């Protein structure tokens, strides 16, 4: 896996810069850190339901040959996602196929020192449909970063999850981020929050 820093904009330009609306938006399904150590080890909120919603999205994506990208967190020794351990594995309920792309990362930002942007550029992707764990860390950070470097984002409201913290329940965190991120923009690019049933792939 490459480790170059990603910072350049995609090869296309935004709607406003071109003075026209893009009609042939090319999407990819992004599944962030749905790993055994989080889903089962941390007892993620509504894990069974979230896995089910991601599987619905996977079925839609496979039916239209949409690119599917799994992000896998590499934890250090002793971490619940320590590389090579059971907890590090992508959850078997959404097991990748041989033609799916897996990109490994070490930070909350799925673009940071990974090949994600390069892979998106190579496939002509300009719109990410984002799911995964954990809502307030990797899902939030990756969604904001994607918009800031020139991608549109659909955050699937019922297909990301987290755990309780000292101040808020997981349910509150998820609801807060769904409300907070809906409409977050950078220039012509924005995050739209939709439930699985309304996502078109």
> What are the pLDDT digits (tens) for 132-175?
999 999 999 999 999 999 999 999 999 999 999 999 999 999 99
- The pTM assigned to this predicted structure is 0.87
Answer whether residue 194 shows pLDDT above 50.
Answer: yes
Note the CATH number of domain 30-198.
3.40.50.850
Quickly state the pLDDT bin for 73 (edges 50, 70, 90): very high
Interval 139-150: pLDDT, tens: 999 999 999 999
For residue range 44-61, what is the model confidence (pLDDT) as tens digits? Answer: 999 999 999 999 999 999
SS (H, E, C) the chain: CCCCCCCCCCCCCCHHHHCCCCCCCCEEEEEECCEHHHHCCCCCCCHHHHHHHHHHHHHHHHHCCCCEEEEEECECCCCCCECCCHHHCECHHHCCCCCCEEEEECCCCCCCCCCHHHHHHHHCCCEEEEEEECHHHHHHHHHHHHHHCCCEEEEEEEEEECCCCCCCCHHHHHHHHHHHHCCCEECCEEEEEECHHHCCC
- 94 pLDDT higher than 90: yes
């Amino acid at each position: 896996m490459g480790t170059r820093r990603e910072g350049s904009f995609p090869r296309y330009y935004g709607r406003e810069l071109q003075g026209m609306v893009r009609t042939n938006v090319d999407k990819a399904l992004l599944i962030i850190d749905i790993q055994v150590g989080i889903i089962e080890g941390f007892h993620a909120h509504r894990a069974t339901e979230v896995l089910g919603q991601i599987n619905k999205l996977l079925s839609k994506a496979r039916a239209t040959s949409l690119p599917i990208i799994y992000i896998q967190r590499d934890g250090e020794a002793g971490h619940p996602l320590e590389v090579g351990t059971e907890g590090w594995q992508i959850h078997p309920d959404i097991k990748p196929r041989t033609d799916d792309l897996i990109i490994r990362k070490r930070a909350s930002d799925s673009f940071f020192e990974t090949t994600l942007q390069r892979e998106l550029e190579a496939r002509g992707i300009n719109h990410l449909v984002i799911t995964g764990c954990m809502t307030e860390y990797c899902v939030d950070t990756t969604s904001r970063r994607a918009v800031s470097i020139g991608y549109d984002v659909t955050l699937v409201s019922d297909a990301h999850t987290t755990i309780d913290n000292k101040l808020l329940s997981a349910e509150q965190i998820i609801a807060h981020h769904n409300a907070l991120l809906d409409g977050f923009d950078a220039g012509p690019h924005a995050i739209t929050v939709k439930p699985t049933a309304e996502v078109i792939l």
